[in-house]
Structure 1
Amino acid sequence: MRAHSRGPPVTDAGEGDLRNDASLSLQVAFMTLTLFPIRLLFAAFMMLLAWPFALVASLGPADKEPEQPLALWRKVVDFLLKAIMRTMWFAGGFHRVAVKGRQALPAEAAILTLAPHSSYFDAIPVTMTMSSIVMKAESRDIPIWGTLIRYIRPVFVSRSDQDSRRKTVEEIKRRAQSDGKWPQVTVFPEVGPCPPPPTLQTSCAFIPGVPVQPVVLRYANKMDTITWTWQGPGAVTWLLCPQFLPVYSPSEEEKKNPALYASNVRHVMAKALGVSVTDYTFEDCQLALAEGQLRLPTDTCLLEFARLVRGLGLKPEKLEKDLDRYSESARMKRGEKIGLSEFAAYLEVPVSDTLEDMFSLFDESGGGKIDLREYVVALSVVCRPSQTLETIQLAFRTYGSPEDGSIDEKDLSCILKTALGVADLTVTDLFQAIDQEERGRITFADFRGFAAMYPNFAEDYLYPNQTHFDSCARTPPAPTPNGFCTDFSPENLGFGRKNLCKKLD
């Protein structure tokens, strides 16, 4: 499998792990039994207090245009609800919310784009601004919470409605063109409701082609304990800092090209946050940081492979069920290589640029032919990143001899290079250590027994003299906001289509 010649560091999975700090863990355990119940009850009380105000103010048709100017009683209700919600968040530990910049008026920017979406507490700016949000229709039926949601006049999306994308865009566009009569719509572009896969480029925030105001979020607590990447229990005092950036008005070209519009806004927000731009997803970070006996090296090509799998509309979580079928089909080929059109038929997808990019990852010689067995091994890692032995067992079935399922050193080298997403790897020492009887072949039972006796076999036999294979999880972490993975985007690694990964020489 081809691999690029270098790779950036990935954040240490143990960074910010409270389980590594005994004294802090004890402190959190104590407060969980004492302070947490009080905070929870107080927060619930504040929600109950807000409910009657929201109920009265949300009466009437949901699609009726708000009256302008707002009646005095509505302004009072709006003020009271903001105060109640802020008190609720204070009870939850957010003692200070430092706001930078100025929130634009609805007539200036009808849409607020918030990022990064890394925590359930990202709802705080929504309650501060009382802006509408795009959310699933089922939320309106949640007791108490549904009433509070209806007050901010959200744009509801029905997952059962096949025409949901068009209706959502039309509703946002209708509100955006109301000259500020409707509340602003807040969209988290990373998880926009518009399929195909929810990404910044396809988010409904940019399809209407109206000005947006980017808003970036920072959690400035000393240790990351609230985002979806944290390990262990939460801390007790947090600081949130939302920053309202200048309104971004799209050019004529951006209005015609929502992907370009989204990309340019994304760069503005990334610059404000001081982070790199990446096309990879949270699932890719999970893959890079997965715990297992074969942790991915920093120069792995599997992150690019995972992105291409999703780019073809294939979902790893669903493909996992078909791994055995893919494996059997590849085994029947017995190493016979196939071309691009046959590969497309195998995956049941049309030939496309994305498929060609994936094909090139496995076309090591550049001869226009690939071994399907490599694809199956790589797919197994992406579908089950932490289950090393399951992937190796699948590989033995795919590569093994019909008689006893054994493989030789060449096969083991191919399996491990593919499972790690690299083009150069020496496995001689590992193979000889497993092959105690010097038969020149090993079975999965031999490998499994050896792995049980030497759980750190990868570090001991594969990595010692190859420093560029240091594990992702052991690379010194670079400081990143909200505990995110540092950037490993193709555009920043200097390779593009038709040259996805440079073969190591």
Structure 2
Amino acid sequence: MRFPKRRRHAAVEEDASEMSARFRNPFVHELKFTLLQKIKIGLMTVTLLPFRLFLAAFWMLLAWPFAFVATVGRADNTVEPVSWRWLVDLALKAIMRAMWFSGGFHWVRVKGQPALPSEAPILTLAPHSSYFDAIPVTMTMASIVMKAESKDIPVWGTLIKFIRPVFVSRSDPDSRRKTVEEIKRRACSGGEWPQIMIFPEGTCTNRSCLITFKPGAFIPGVPVQPVVLRYLNEMDTISWTWRGPGAFKILWLTLCQLNNRLEIEYLPTYTPSEEEKSDPALFATNVRRLMAKALDTPITDYSFEDCQLAMVQGPLRLPGNTCLLEFARLARRLGLKAGLSDEVLQEQGGRARKLWGDKLGLADFAQCINLPVTNMLQDMFDMFDEHGTGQVDIREYVIALSMVYRPFKGLDTIKLGFRMYEAEEAGGVTEEDLSVVLRSTLGLTDLETSRMFTVLDSAHRGRITFEEFEQFVERCPDFVDRYLLSSGSSQPSCPVITPPPVSSNGFCTDFSPHDQQHSHTNNHTPTDNKKVN
């Protein structure tokens, strides 16, 4: 399995050679420290860290009574006229700024001119990479979209309620629609309500690119002001991704930095055209492109849903350089996951087995999965055409589709692979077949499986069964690192990473209605039991 040819349909909109050098998996963040850096962190941990934690707690507790008094008796669905509460607003801004200062954010540079609520009722912020992205929220006291459960958190919940957030309830199936309606109501109030800050990516990334924007912020069709964030420290202790340091480790490492630099830039207000007002996805795409240009950062069609692959744990935890993230993007855009189920995958596996290794050209491949030939389908085809022969084995496609559909059931995908490759008369799979199954499952190329196969095939039959493989995984859960990657034989087949129902790891929840997500739907069930002519 390999990365597709970028000349046809780039996932990242820039020159292919530049993209290969710069692009990283946006849902993975790896920190590596030199010996000197480790010594510095150790010293800061026993000296500066306790002092900063004490001050941060002090400032937050000091802010609580101000927020509590200001929220007593205040209605949630109406905005009160300007009153004494603006004094509380100023006090809280000062207190929260002191809290961030005590945490090492000594100077926060602000560029550009913030728009008035009447000019841009919605602020779109990106990239979203950490809970430290709350800094611009506390500096402006703008409203945000948050999970309803947040308001019940002691101290923090009171501070949250002061900024009049729009709450999304997990228990209410109609909550997303209500949230969009509430945002529309506030956005069309002529500036009476505070501005709403929204992180349209819907989840945290490592800031290597801008992923797909959710359309929720753009459904009201009102002018928005894009705001870009830049963390300028040489060592990135800020990013909080699905695979990487956890929330507490990020807090520890960041507070151990002597100074943390943040730049907030307000871009000119973006007024949507009539076409963009009627098409929130187009509106979101154009705003994202504008923000990416300001950041000098590539954009990619990877989305919040794709981050599930980065959450996989256990024996079949995917390597950082897996091509399955790109395959998942293409599968989502082509509508291949719509209507997919375990039963459909088993049916596809049975049909692929009957082809028994017959190679398919692009037209046959398209007919087999019931899709027209397009540039995007060509990209997917290229991923399995490793040798550039113009032919692929449909079984590899079924394995990859199974893995991206059910990433937390890797052994079920392996079992499906064994079923498609094992010979009925002999039983089990050969070393070559095992290599193909594992390459397609992990999204890698040129895996060296001989050492592992020798251990598995203790009877020297030249074949192993799925039961034998399953028992081996139970005995050696780290087999991927120990047997497949440790020798360095598996070279990255996708752009290299230098150096887990899913909910967002950002502090602002996604609220975009499901029917507003842009997708193509197709019937993807293979249409014949034999090779298509």
Question: Same-fold call, TM > 0.5?
Answer: yes
Structure 1 residues 497 and 172: CA distance shift in structure 2, 3 A: closer
Q: Which residue of 2 aligns with 1:4?
A: 4
Q: Which residue of 1 aligns with 2:77?
A: 63
Counterpart CA distance in 1 for 2:45 and 2:104 is 13
Asked if the contact 1:288–1:472 (Cα under 8 Å) also holds between the matched residues in 2, the reply is no
| Structure 1 gap ranges (5+) | 193-198, 345-350, 464-468, 478-495, 499-505
How far apart are residue 330 of structure 1 and its match?
A: 5.7
Asked if the contact 1:220–1:241 (Cα under 8 Å) also holds between the matched residues in 2, the reply is yes
Counterpart CA distance in 1 for 2:449 and 2:166 is 60
Counterpart CA distance in 2 for 1:223 and 1:330 is 47
Which one of 289, 295, 300 corresponds to residue 267 of structure 1?
289
When the two structures are aligned, how many residues end up with a matched partner?
448
Structure 1 residues 173 and 20: CA distance shift in structure 2, 3 A: same
Structure 1 stretch 167-176 or stretch 392-401: which is displaced more? 392-401
> Is 2:370 aligned against 1:376?
no
**Deviation string for 1:358-397 (max 9, x for gaps)?**
9964997999x97457413553377559x98886566335
How far apart are residue 154 of structure 1 and its match?
A: 1.1
**Deviation string for 1:197-223 (max 9, x for gaps)?**
xx8544321101100000001111110
> Is 2:111 aligned against 1:92?
no
Q: Which residue of 2 aligns with 1:336?
A: 354
Which one of 276, 295, 299 corresponds to residue 254 of structure 1?
276
**Deviation string for 1:172-214 (max 9, x for gaps)?**
122122221111111111118xxxxxx8544321101100000
TM-score in terms of structure 1 length: 0.72
Which one of 227, 234, 240 corresponds to residue 215 of structure 1?
227
Asked if the contact 1:2–1:301 (Cα under 8 Å) also holds between the matched residues in 2, the reply is yes
Counterpart CA distance in 1 for 2:481 and 2:277 is 58
Task: For 2:222, give the aligned amino acid.
Answer: V
Structure 1 residues 127 and 47: CA distance shift in structure 2, 3 A: same
> Is 2:215 aligned against 1:206?
no
Task: For 1:249, give the aligned amino acid.
Answer: T
How far apart are residue 107 of structure 1 and its match?
A: 1.1
> Is 2:300 aligned against 1:278?
yes
> Is 2:266 aligned against 1:244?
yes
> Is 2:54 aligned against 1:41?
yes
Q: Which residue of 2 aligns with 1:484?
A: none
Counterpart CA distance in 2 for 1:42 and 1:92 is 8
Task: For 1:257, give the aligned amino acid.
Answer: D
How far apart are residue 150 of structure 1 and its match?
A: 1.4
Asked if the contact 1:112–1:212 (Cα under 8 Å) also holds between the matched residues in 2, the reply is yes
Q: Which residue of 2 aligns with 1:116?
A: 127
Percentage of identical aligned residues:
48
Structure 1 residues 135 and 474: CA distance shift in structure 2, 3 A: closer
**Deviation string for 1:89-121 (max 9, x for gaps)?**
112221221111111111111111111110001
Counterpart CA distance in 1 for 2:310 and 2:494 is 7
How far apart are residue 122 of structure 1 and its match?
A: 0.4
Which one of 61, 67, 77 corresponds to residue 54 of structure 1?
67
**Deviation string for 1:209-247 (max 9, x for gaps)?**
100000001111110012114546513231111111111
Asked if the contact 1:12–1:476 (Cα under 8 Å) also holds between the matched residues in 2, the reply is no
Asked if the contact 1:308–1:358 (Cα under 8 Å) also holds between the matched residues in 2, the reply is no
Asked if the contact 2:349–2:416 (Cα under 8 Å) also holds between the matched residues in 1, the reply is no
Counterpart CA distance in 2 for 1:181 and 1:32 is 46
Counterpart CA distance in 1 for 2:260 and 2:226 is 23
> Is 2:90 aligned against 1:79?
yes
Task: For 2:240, give the aligned amino acid.
Answer: W
Q: Which residue of 2 aligns with 1:154?
A: 165
